Amino acid sequence: MTDTPTDAAKTSFPAVADMRTRVLVLGSLPGDASLRAAQYYAHPQNQFWRLMEALVERPLVGRPYEERLDVLRDAGVGLWDVIRQARRAGSLDTAIRDHMPNSLATFAATLPNLRAVAFNGGKASEIGRRELAGVDGGPALITLPSSSPAHAALSFERKRAAWMALRPFL
């Protein structure tokens, strides 16, 4: 697959979650490396899998993708994106335009054990909180520093410390 042209719409992946999901991690929209690989967080410098490895205390980095997803599901972690479709040149959230959100409130209602929704970065939080605004008595909403390589100013150790806020919900 070649790079997606600037004017082409980019679409999120299906949700990875089930009845065991207690924490739902929401990104904004898969980046170009992830879209090419058809895998969440496929960019080699994205710290997501290292952060999840620390959170669930099970090896993930270096495992086949489907095994990583199985480990997350077994640990009660689900994945999805706040944006269903948008136009974006490249992979930066600041370039997102004409977005259509995923039906987050409807989806969250299908997860009976959901305790927390974690937003992977500011753009995901901005859109996701707006989509979940009317959900009374819903899950805790937690904004986390982005795992993206575009947000390298914050050290991995500081990101890991912030992401550990999810542990009590597992």
Could you give the residue numbers annotated as active site? 46
33 contacts 2 by C-beta, under 8 angstroms: no
**CB-count burial class (<10 Å; 0-12, 13-18, 19+) for 89:** middle
What pairing do the DSSP bridges indicate for beta strands 9-11 and 77-81?
unpaired
Cα of first residue to Cα of last residue in the chain, in angstroms, is 37
Hey, what's the torsion of the CAs at 37, 26, 50, 2, to 10 degrees?
Answer: 20
